[in-house]
Structure 1
Amino acid sequence: MPDARRRFEYRLRFPDGARRVIPIVLDGTTLGCVEPPPVARAWTALACHRCPHCPLDAAEALCPLAARLDPLVEVLGSVLSYEALDVEVASGERTVSTHAPAQAVASSIIGLIGATSGCPHTAFLKPLAWFHQPFAGEEETVFRAVSAWFLKQHFRELDGETPDWSLAGLRQRYDALHTVNVHLARRLRQASSADATANAIVRLDMFTKAISGEIDDILGFLRGRLG
């Protein structure tokens, strides 16, 4: 049986010795984000830099993705991209430790919260978030995304639905995700006094573009290594 909830803790230590913790809790049934809760700020309002393809009702007060990133902005919004942090990411019995630029740390956190935030354009990433791998690189990200997509198509076929083995649907979802990244970066530039959080989106968008535009090359590379 799946866990009722899954908790991730990003434990950050700054060069001056200061320590901060950003906890992220996912619901085991919906795979949605329970913690951090949404926070109302000017930059988290749905109307602020709203994505042109957002399907949410205009009556909604907050962008579900931006509203859950408030703790990240509080901790890293005044930090420069290149400032290196000591990081531990703890979940269950596993702890991953690294020394990484603030941009990479913010990118990993945004990827996890974003997938589970309630944004309709990131919902397809929920299963990857449940099995979150901090600081995953481009090849690993592509491998996990495509593997999860094919598993989903297998279940669709078992349910009598038409599977998409061509990856066309996955490409479309990542194209839509690119638009989300562009507008979220604008929000984070408005909310932050330094560049770590906005540049984290630039890093995430590199992976998005890789899956959307370079997937065949990466899969060709991986194909020869699957035996």
Structure 2
Amino acid sequence: MTETAIAWDTYSRQRPERRPVNAAGQTTWFNWTQYPDHGPGIELFETPAGARILDLGCGKGGNAAHLATLGMRTVGVDVSPRQLAAARERWGQTPGLELHQAEAVSFLRDDRMGFDAVYSVYGAVWFTDPALLLPAIHERLRPGGRLVFSQRPPVEGCYGCQASYIPRGADEDPLVVRRWDYEPHVWQQLLVAHGFRSVRTQVLAAPPGPRTVGTLIIQART
């Protein structure tokens, strides 16, 4: 197992399971943000039922499963065996859902069918070098296809490749993974440079309460 897979396996043990139902009583739902029952939904894709959609960094599979229940042909990819085991246990029988253990760029390079949309929710787009990932996504998106991703906005003055620390036991050093933090206008420049168009960026404010960190959401087309 790679160091990256070990890191995300460790992270998986620290994350709570998705609730049985959301505030609306739904058993599946889509969430772009780190906060429950907050933010937009699948309307950001603008794709019809039957579209082939790729989740890069699907984690425990909740978002991908929701798309499959709506008639999408959904493919979830993650490097963590533990995350995928949880996804298969809860959602593995969902018609239209495929789950694969793979690194994002490698999976895209091997795929031959193409996608109508690719998305990442605090996932692989945040944690993969965009110089490698963006051209791989662009090559696999069908004409007019959409890329949509969300992540935490960058901390002021801390841009580019940064370190994320995943804690372990009290006597163990934390695991380190890399992430790519850019201001919205820089993401726009990067996407345009790799052939994307109609780029839209927004920072969605956190819901009311003590929480203050919003969510950066970016949309683009081929």
Under a length normalisation based on structure 1, what TM-score does the superposition of the two structures give?
0.28
Under a length normalisation based on structure 2, what TM-score does the superposition of the two structures give?
0.28
Choose between structure 1 and 2: higher strand proportion.
2
Highest Rg: 1 or 2? Answer: 1
Choose between structure 1 and 2: higher helix proportion.
1
